Amino acid sequence: MTKAEAKARIAELRKAIDKYRYEYHVLDRATISDAALDSLKHELYALEQEHPDLITPDSPTQRVGGKALAKFAKVTHRRPMLSMEDVFSPEEFAAWSARIEKLTEHTNSQLPTPYFCMPKVDGLALSIVYEDGLLKSAATRGDGKVGEDVTQNVKTIDSVPLRLRSPMGVKLPKTLEVRGEVYMPVKEFDAYNRKMKKEGKEPLVNPRNAAAGSVRQLDPTVTSERPLAFIAWDLVDDLGQARQHEEWELLREMGFKAAQAKLCRSVEEVEAFWRALQEKRDTMGFWIDGMVARVDDNALYASLGVVGKTPRALVAWKFPAEEATTVVKDIAWYVGRTGALTPVAVVNPTFVAGTTVQHASLHNLDEIERLDVRVGDTVILYKAGDIIPKVKGVLMELRPAGSQATKAPRKCPVCKTDVVRREGEVAIVCPNKRCPAQDRENALHAARAFDIEGLGPQTVSQMLEQGLVKSAADLFALKVDDLLKLEGFADVSSRKLVEAIKAKTRIPLDRFILALGIRNVGEETARDLASHFGSLEALMAASEEALTQVPNIGPVVATSVLEWFADSDNRDLVASYRKNGIVVGTGEKRAVSGAFAGRTVVITGTLSTLSRDQAKEAVRAAGGKAGESVSKKTDFVLVGENPGSKADDAKRLGISILSEADFLRMLRKS
Ligand SMILES: [Zn+2]
């Protein structure tokens, strides 16, 4: 990005962020999620770090908290309460650390100083000033310079010492300031809300709001009824400690609660601690939204200084958000196995729900039109139990001038054949039967049906390009010497792949039918066909009438099967499988009795005692079908840990939901 581009983007981001803040704080209307707003601020922050001369005092990054409310007395902080830089991904944390290493002119592989890491409590920041060891005043952060005087309220919090204990061997100065976070423990929050509901009163929204709202009460008796706690995280005054962690110890000795912290000596150790905190997040007893890492050495800490309103020597490493914003660089169209073109948004790398993503699903042209997604747009991405995130919406405020509506391609992006739109279908299709993209997807689909290990998309592409194979059937004629021609293949790896392929020459009938890649014939339909016809010959000879008599098979599938076998290229494919030594088994009869006889079960989430494939197998053995998506035809949805959107679909359609325990009980009964 050029400087001029950065300047323009910074201006747009500031305008949009201010608008969303105004809507949220003044109009009480949340038009964008906290996570998405954070993501925009993060992009702005990163751009300003690259171009520090573009930082202006009115930038949203220079704003620390809310302005002090008029009704509380104002307190000018002895030293400004600064804010922290946020990072989200391991890459961003490593970049922060690299910057520290560079600034401290450090060249060894060891860090210049250990990082002192602690959970980031999600509450309300407070400054508490003691004089001669007695609590004198307490203030909120306010705008960082001037906060609100909440002394009377803070005095009602049990974990705030009213008188400091004297630590061994340290003389306390006349004035001493401690900073930390007020929070409402989750257990207390739940109990308080139960009580409120019982009394018919309005419950509190969440522990973070509860803490902030309780401290900023004009009547201290209200605060005293709220179960609040305080964790200290900073000793402001210099009592002669050389290290941050020593000050932390001192805070404990003075009578403050301090959360579990860790001194980390490498970036890997920091990451491990961050991950451990994330896992413990729900059992900590209070809300945390990330981890704070500080340069442990106080002299280095001070020498690193402050940029804008954020000190360089500490960073907040936030936990992954379910939503993030990014910019669409391109809209690409991928050609699938059946020739259908699927649009995918290619985006600037961003961190969503724990992974860095560069692609987002757009589903189809209708979805693009509904969202009006264009190249250059800033979009909100979200994840819903899927690997590839989806586009939730476009931030119209950030749309560049002169952007063009996204149009469907006229030609296949791979083979340049004119695309067609099948009657009554949304999908745009490349009709070229010899389209290289379709050949590749078909070969990969077959390799999956044959369960061949170690055969990835790149290898298959190379084989097709070099003419080693024309279809999946040719895989079974490959020799070690052939593979040596491919990039990345040596003697051992070639031998291994040839063996892996040769090991799969015997295949059950249903898997073979699946491998053929007939339109509308998935795993379950392939089983129905195999079970009914019993042999490949019988299926190939079946008439339309015979096909429609198969249970669960309608006219659409029947037509697909007939059309497929009527095509001479496809019959040649079957012949070359045979020529290359493939032995197709016979179809097994479906179990007709059992707990799930005639029922369809869809599985979502992770099960603790069974893999997904084992659960599907159990459903089939009990006479049922394992469905892939939830529809009105679904009888049960088996819901495991971290279920996807299928669980919501089930609720919406009123389909019976089974827990893993229910499922196992039903199986045992049958
Ligand atoms: Zn094509």
Whole-angstrom Cα distance, residue 314 to residue 139? 22
Phi, psi values for residue 314, rounded to 5°: -140, 160
Query: In this structure, how many other beta carbons lie within 10 angstroms of the beta carbon of residue 345?
Result: 27
Whole-angstrom Cα distance, residue 141 to residue 131? 20
Contact 14, 44 (CB under 8 A): yes
Mean of pLDDT values over 378-387: 79
| Helical spans, DSSP H, in 466-567 | 480-484, 491-502, 509-515, 523-533, 536-540, 544-548, 555-566
If you measure from the C-alpha of residue 418 to the centroid of ligand 1, how many angstroms do you get, rounded to a whole number?
A: 8
Phi, psi values for residue 308, rounded to 5°: 60, -115
If you measure from the C-alpha of residue 344 to the centroid of ligand 1, how many angstroms do you get, rounded to a whole number?
A: 17
| Higher local confidence (pLDDT), 367 or 68 | 367
Binding residues: 83-84, 141, 181, 318, 412, 415, 430, 435
Q: How confident is the model at residue 214 (pLDDT cuts 50, 70, 90)?
A: confident
Q: Which residues pair with 328 in a beta bridge?
A: 347
| DSSP code at position 606 | B
Contact 376, 400 (CB under 8 A): yes
Q: In this structure, which long-range contacts are made by residues 354-363, counting pairs with CB atoms below 8 Å and at least 24 apart in sequence?
A: 354/320, 356/89, 356/91, 357/381, 357/388, 357/389, 359/388, 360/388, 360/389, 360/390, 360/391, 361/386, 361/388, 361/389, 361/390, 361/391, 362/331, 362/391, 363/390
- pLDDT tens per residue, range 444-474: 999 989 988 888 888 888 898 888 998 899 9
Contact 441, 335 (CB under 8 A): yes
If you measure from the C-alpha of residue 554 to the centroid of ligand 1, how many angstroms do you get, rounded to a whole number?
A: 29
Residue whose pair of structure tokens reads 């003389």 in the numeric block: 171
Whole-angstrom Cα distance, residue 447 to residue 472? 7
Torsional class of 658: left (φ above 0), alpha (ψ -120 to 50), beta (otherwise): beta
Mean of pLDDT values over 640-647: 80
Residue 48, CB-side half-sphere exposure with 13 Å CA sphere: 24
Closest among 273, 324, 268 to 94, alpha carbons compared: 268
Closest among 612, 618, 621, 651 to 634, alpha carbons compared: 651
The question of whether 120 is a catalytic residue gets the answer yes
Query: In this structure, how many other beta carbons lie within 10 angstroms of the beta carbon of residue 133?
Result: 17
If you measure from the C-alpha of residue 557 to the centroid of ligand 1, how many angstroms do you get, rounded to a whole number?
A: 24
| DSSP code at position 59 | S
ipTM above 0.95, yes or no: yes
As to burial, measured by CB atoms within 10 angstroms (0-12 exposed, 13-18 middle, 19+ buried), residue 415 is middle
Q: According to the model, what pLDDT value does residue 65 have?
A: 46
Q: How confident is the model at residue 27 (pLDDT cuts 50, 70, 90)?
A: low
If you measure from the C-alpha of residue 436 to the centroid of ligand 1, how many angstroms do you get, rounded to a whole number?
A: 7
If you measure from the C-alpha of residue 336 to the centroid of ligand 1, how many angstroms do you get, rounded to a whole number?
A: 9
If you measure from the C-alpha of residue 125 to the centroid of ligand 1, how many angstroms do you get, rounded to a whole number?
A: 59
| Higher local confidence (pLDDT), 591 or 616 | 616
Q: What is the DSSP annotation of 105-128?
A: T--SSS-SSPEEEEEEE-SEEEEE
Phi, psi values for residue 506, rounded to 5°: -95, 130
Q: According to the model, what pLDDT value does residue 110 have?
A: 56
Binding residues for NAD(+): 83-84, 141, 181, 318
Kind and range of the H or E element at 571? helix 568-579
Closest among 67, 76, 316 to 216, alpha carbons compared: 67
Amino acid residing at 482: D
**What does the mean pLDDT of the chain come to?**
87
- pLDDT tens per residue, range 333-342: 999 888 999 9
Phi, psi values for residue 189, rounded to 5°: -60, -50
Q: Is the pLDDT of residue 125 over 90?
A: yes
- pLDDT tens per residue, range 280-323: 888 888 989 899 999 999 988 988 888 878 899 999 999 877 78
Radius of gyration, alpha carbons of the chain: 32
If you measure from the C-alpha of residue 341 to the centroid of ligand 1, how many angstroms do you get, rounded to a whole number?
A: 9
Q: According to the model, what pLDDT value does residue 30 have?
A: 64
Tokens of 657: 């939901």
If you measure from the C-alpha of residue 308 to the centroid of ligand 1, how many angstroms do you get, rounded to a whole number?
A: 53
Whole-angstrom Cα distance, residue 78 to residue 282? 36
| Per-chain residues with Cβ under 5 A from ion ligand 1 | 412, 414-415, 430, 432, 435
| Higher local confidence (pLDDT), 332 or 30 | 332
Q: Is the pLDDT of residue 16 over 50?
A: yes
What Cα–Cα distance (Å) separates residue 364 from each residue in 116, 337, 354, 391, 524? 48, 16, 26, 12, 25
As to burial, measured by CB atoms within 10 angstroms (0-12 exposed, 13-18 middle, 19+ buried), residue 306 is exposed
3-state SS string over 334-387?
Answer: EECCCCEEEEEEEEEEEEECCEEEEEEECCCHHHHHHHCCCCCCEEEEECCCCC
- pLDDT tens per residue, range 321-369: 778 999 999 999 999 888 999 999 999 998 887 778 899 988 888 889 9
Whole-angstrom Cα distance, residue 372 to residue 389? 17
Q: Is the pLDDT of residue 234 over 90?
A: yes
Contact 335, 413 (CB under 8 A): yes
Mean of pLDDT values over 59-69: 61
Q: How confident is the model at residue 63 (pLDDT cuts 50, 70, 90)?
A: low
Whole-angstrom Cα distance, residue 640 to residue 110? 43
Q: Is the pLDDT of residue 670 over 70?
A: no
- pLDDT tens per residue, range 402-443: 999 999 899 999 999 999 987 777 789 999 988 989 988 999
Whole-angstrom Cα distance, residue 208 to residue 25? 16
Closest among 630, 628, 623, 631 to 667, alpha carbons compared: 623
If you measure from the C-alpha of residue 567 to the centroid of ligand 1, how many angstroms do you get, rounded to a whole number?
A: 19
Closest among 61, 39, 32, 59 to 395, alpha carbons compared: 32
Sign of CA dihedral 101, 104, 110, 115: negative
H helix and E strand count, the chain: 24, 26
Lowest mean pLDDT among 30-34, 94-98, 348-352: 30-34
**Domains of the chain, with CATH numbers?**
3-62 (1.10.287.610), 74-318 (3.30.470.30), 323-421 (2.40.50.140), 436-565 (1.10.150.20), 600-669 (3.40.50.10190)
Q: What is the DSSP annotation of 572-602?
A: HHHHHHHHTT-EE-PPPPPP-SSTTTT-EEE
Count of residues making up the chain: 670
Tokens of 254: 């003075």
| DSSP code at position 409 | -
Mean of pLDDT values over 538-546: 92
- pLDDT tens per residue, range 238-290: 898 999 999 999 999 999 988 889 999 889 999 999 999 988 888 888 989 89
Catalytic residue (choose from 3, 19, 120, 136):
120
Q: According to the model, what pLDDT value does residue 68 have?
A: 47
Binding residues for Zn(2+): 412, 415, 430, 435
| DSSP code at position 477 | G
Q: According to the model, what pLDDT value does residue 103 have?
A: 84
**% of the chain beyond a pLDDT of 90:** 43
